[in-house]
Structure 1
Amino acid sequence: MPAAALSIAPIADADIAAVVALWQACGLTRPWNDPAADIALARRGPNATVLIGRDGEAIVATAMVGHDGHRGWVYYVAVDPDRRAQGHGRAMMNAAEAWLRGAGIAKLQLLVRRENAKAGAFYQSLGYAEAETIVFAKWLDGREPTP
């Protein structure tokens, strides 16, 4: 089914369990991040949202998008593994970009794990380029840094 069949809208309360299940099926969750808490945080204010793509009633794609007033970020870009290569990821990224443009944000950044060459190739196919920056991280709750 073509990406045009996707209906894209912000997440609703009833969608949370299905979205978390999709993220788990796509290998996007990590033990140190509670995906339901990430959704709640994104929905807390006007600077972020979780967009879901439906094919009929089924949630088949997502993108969490937000901004800090200067730069936009996207996380949890997911497409049901059984529905990949149908343009759904591109449709979700287009929706995330449109959401940021609507908020007046001109730059979108995202993080890709180095070992995820397929994701890197996908974003390059959409016109994204690897930035010449280094990301530093610190856990504010006392945990040791993770790679």
Structure 2
Amino acid sequence: MDIRAFKSANRSAVIELWQACGLTRPWNDPDKDISRKLNVQPELFFIGEVDGKVIASAMAGYDGHRGSVFYLAVSPDYQHRGYGKLMMHRIEDALEAMGCPKLNIVVRSSNEKVLEFYDHLGYAADDVVILGKRLIPDA
């Protein structure tokens, strides 16, 4: 798999990937999420390709205190081949190069499959509660 920065030409393929992976929600417009990311640290928006086809993606960020990752996705047809692990290593390397001391990941508590994936990569649950407030509605 070749990992590189997202390009605008990848937009529809990435949205299709997110939909195939069940990552989209009615309250988050994926097209708007991509546009927002392209305005803030676009160099931390990665895609993975196999034979020119987008099969993976991840958006990362760093606020000077903690890193984060969202929309880590691997096409269902390509899962369990180590591609998600490669994407996470790329993100970790990029964030570490920026001086990021810790990476936080938000995973829905009901998503046991993804929690197990991150456990295998050495991530553990922190004793925190994630709070959210919608500032700009997408719908």
Q: TM-score range by the shorter chain?
A: over 0.9
Show CA shifts across 1:80-131 (max 9, x none).
0011110000000001111111211111001111110000000000000001
2:17 aligns with 22
1:117 maps to 2:112: yes
Assess, with a 3 A threshold, how the Cα gap between structure 1 residues 137 and 85 changes in structure 2: closer, same or farther.
Answer: same
- For 1:10, the aligned partner's letter is A
Partners in 2 of 1:44 and 1:65 — Cα distance? 13
Measure how far apart 1:79 and its partner are.
0.4
- Which 4+ residue blocks in structure 1 deviate beyond 4 angstroms? none
- Is there any run of 5+ residues in structure 2 with no aligned partner, and where? none
**Equivalent residue runs for 1:17-96 within 5 Å:** 17-46=12-41, 49-96=44-91
Aligned-pair RMSD on alpha carbons? 1.6
SS in 1 for 2:54: strand
**Aligned counterparts of 2:48 and 2:105: Cα–Cα separation in 1:** 19
Q: What are structure 1's unaligned runs of at least 5 residues? A: 1-5
Higher relative contact order (CA closer than 8 Å, sequence separation 6+): 2
Deviation of the 1:71 alpha carbon: 0.4
Q: Distance in 2 between matches of 1:82 and 1:72?
A: 29
The answer to whether the 8 Å contact 2:46/2:58 transfers is: yes
Normalised TM-score (structure 2): 0.93
Identity of aligned residues (%): 42
The alpha-carbon deviation at position 140 of structure 1 amounts to 2.5
Aligned-residue offset at 1:47: 7.0
SS in 2 for 1:134: coil
Instruction: Find 1:97's aligned residue among 81, 92, 95.
Output: 92
1:3 corresponds in structure 2 to none
**Secondary structure of residue in 2 paired with 1:54:** strand
Counterpart CA distance in 2 for 1:17 and 1:141 is 23
How far has the Cα of 1:139 moved from its partner? 2.1
What is the TM-score of this pair, normalised by structure 1? 0.88
